[in-house]
A = this chain, B = another copy of it.
């Protein structure tokens, strides 16, 4: 199948508090060079290659980040950047993008992608997208992507799979038995050995008609107000009153025909500083340096360092720390507390918002 009416909807609304201090309100994670020379959103766009060219990419982002999107993704036409006046979770983004595409390309098929994940290699990823576009077009189902677990992760939601419904190229298409919330350690271990559970990657494929029908059936409080808007100004006004619900909860867990394509290429949601360990090379003592800084380490093992080029980080006798320098702020915490960086951000929101 050719995909001349395939569009990408890139979700770039994240505020990225878990990557403070590198990610700030003014520059969340997706606009950062977390693990390379391009920012995560640039990588997300680059990965689409010629499969979905720039003029068929929509980006949904906060109004305060529109300038960053235009700067980092200059080839995307300005009218393809949808500026949310306020964040209202993924159902609102997806509904707005679907309405926009219904107007511009009613027969389109979409890939919906987060802007802040790391996925490689890109060529394999495009084969996966092609399979999903084929399946979404042919079946009219809502298609999701499930990552084959490599460890008993407790930080992801899971998808329990059912029987195989189709094959698309090298990829299998499975029924979704159910969506499962983030499990505790013991359940995660059971999921890992069961072979019937995948990580919920937050990526989707569907036709514009299919997602609109599903939103109309399961999320009318989100779709309705947006559907009645005649202009972008109307949308901005309507947005504040929308409920903030995740698409998984509002639609995916409710809809009848939901399918999943398992995949095994490298995927990382870069959910916290510790993710850098998995996506960057280590030195002989297991230390990882991102951002371009120089590391000098003695008796220092398993640390994750992020600091800009031209800076020196000297670690002596410390292990398993996260050390991040950005702007005039510095964070030091143990790796097993990296998920709690939000607590620092919350404290700063009360006491020192100039640092956010």
A122 interface residue, CB < 8 Å from B?
no
A312 interface residue, CB < 8 Å from B?
yes
- Give CA–CA (A228, B42) in the complex, Å: 72
Q: Which of B310, B317, B347, B351 contacts A333 (CB 8 A)?
A: B317
A296 interface residue, CB < 8 Å from B?
yes
Interface size class of A (residues with CB under 8 A): 35 or more
- Give CA–CA (A325, B332) in the complex, Å: 12
Q: How many copies make up the complex?
A: 2
Q: A22 CB to closest chain B CB, in angstroms? A: 12
Residues of B within 8 A of A343 (CB): 298, 316
A154 interface residue, CB < 8 Å from B?
no
A337 interface residue, CB < 8 Å from B?
yes
- Given A294-B352, A296-B352, A351-B296, A332 contacting B315 (CB threshold 8 A): yes
Q: Are B347 and A331 within 8 A (Cβ)?
A: no
Q: Are A344 and B314 within 8 A (Cβ)?
A: yes
- Give CA–CA (A61, B290) in the complex, Å: 41
A328 interface residue, CB < 8 Å from B?
yes
Q: Are A337 and B316 within 8 A (Cβ)?
A: yes
Residues of B within 8 A of A314 (CB): 21, 329-333, 344, 348
Measured CB to CB, the residues of A under 8 A from B are: 21, 294, 296, 298-299, 307, 310-318, 321, 323, 325, 328-334, 337, 340-341, 343-344, 347-348, 351-352, 355
Q: A312-B329, A316-B340, A317-B337 are in contact. List 12 more A-B contacts (CB 8 A).
A: A294-B352, A296-B344, A298-B343, A311-B328, A314-B329, A316-B332, A317-B333, A317-B334, A317-B340, A318-B334, A323-B330, A325-B325
